[in-house]
Amino acid sequence: MTPPDLNLLVTLDVLLAEGSVAVAARRLRLSPSAMSRALARLRETTGDPLLVRAGRGLVPTPRALELRARVGPVVQEAEEMLRPASALDLQRLVATFSIRASDGFVEAFGPALIVRLQEEAPSVRLRFVQKPDKDSASLRDGSVDLETGVIGPAQSPEIRAQALFSDRFVGVVRQGHPLAQGEVTPDRYAACRHILVSRRGRDAGPIDEALEAVGLRREVATIVGGFSGALALARASDLVAAVPERHTQTMRAGMITFPLPVAVPEITVSLLWHPRLDADPAHRWLRDCVRAICRSPPAFVQA
């Protein structure tokens, strides 16, 4: 069965509203003959004459009267769907947005983001989702609205990404640790026992490569899967942690932070979302809020 031409709905709406082929033609900017052909197609499609001659004019059939009450709202709704989205009223916006991010990101930027959203859109709620891996499936299936993280080679190509900030790695130790006093040289740093953060359980990373370049090697005492775990261990022991500065600015409170004595590449933290949400006004607003919060200067405690 051939699907009906939905463009005929507009023609039907105008014909039934005007009850005249000539007037309907002028309203739709068509010639009378083109409108007559459109009426013929409507009669064939609906199986009903719709408008019949009565003296000099046309009168609607019972089927036309039934359709006249239904077609108008359908056409109006279709026109609304095809118009640009109306201006976003943040005070009336009711929504829950899901953001997939690391614990460090939530602790560093979550409080300020929640305050901003509360001020601008009091009925908006945030749901932070843990990020055990870099799989983009949750962005594709719509279960997550935004994601933050470092883009890897396996990143899905259709996912939109925008850089939020660059982050450098810093060393962190407890109060009273030997590295809390004096200059942290490569030799002093390498002589300590360390915590390696690796989501995949690897036993070496960029810091080890940087130390090797200057002829040094450190002892990795333990490997953990996240920065919050590394800081918890460093806070309660003589182990040394290396963590991203901005991601951990809140979690490092009360600890001693120092620049790494070897050159380690910075990381770029990006905001990720699915392209179907590009033009959504509420999603654009949320992205702007995240970007604004991440532009705030980081706190840094110098040893």
Question: What pLDDT shows up at residue 78?
Answer: 82
Global pTM reads: 0.67
73-91 tens-digit pLDDT: 888 888 777 776 667 899 9
Question: Three-state SS across the chain?
Answer: CCCCCCCHHHHHHHHHHHCCHHHHHHHCCCCHHHHHHHHHHHHHHHCCCCEEEECCEEEECHHHHHHHHHHHHHHHHHHHHHCCCCCCCHHHCCEEEEEECCHHHHHHHHHHHHHHHHHHCCCEEEEEECCCCCCCHHHHCCCCCEEEECCCCCCCCCCEEEEEEEECEEEEECCCCHHHCCCCCHHHHHHCEEEEECCCCCCCCHHHHHHHHCCCCCEEEEEECCHHHHHHHHHCCCCEEEEECCCCCCCCCCCEEEECCCCCCCEEEEEEECHHHCCCHHHHHHHHHHHHHHCCCCCCCCC
Per-residue pLDDT of the chain (303 residues; tens, 9 = 90+): 567 788 889 999 999 988 999 999 998 899 999 999 999 999 999 999 999 998 888 899 999 999 988 898 888 888 777 776 667 899 999 999 999 998 888 988 999 999 999 999 999 999 999 876 777 788 888 889 999 988 876 667 788 999 999 999 999 999 999 999 999 999 999 999 999 998 777 889 999 999 999 999 999 999 998 898 999 999 999 999 999 998 888 889 999 999 999 999 999 999 999 988 988 899 999 999 999 999 875 544 343
Question: What pLDDT shows up at residue 173?
Answer: 97
| Greatest C-alpha distance within the chain | 106
Question: What pLDDT shows up at residue 199?
Answer: 79
Question: What pLDDT shows up at residue 80?
Answer: 72
Query: How many CB atoms neighbour CB 192 within 10 A?
Result: 18
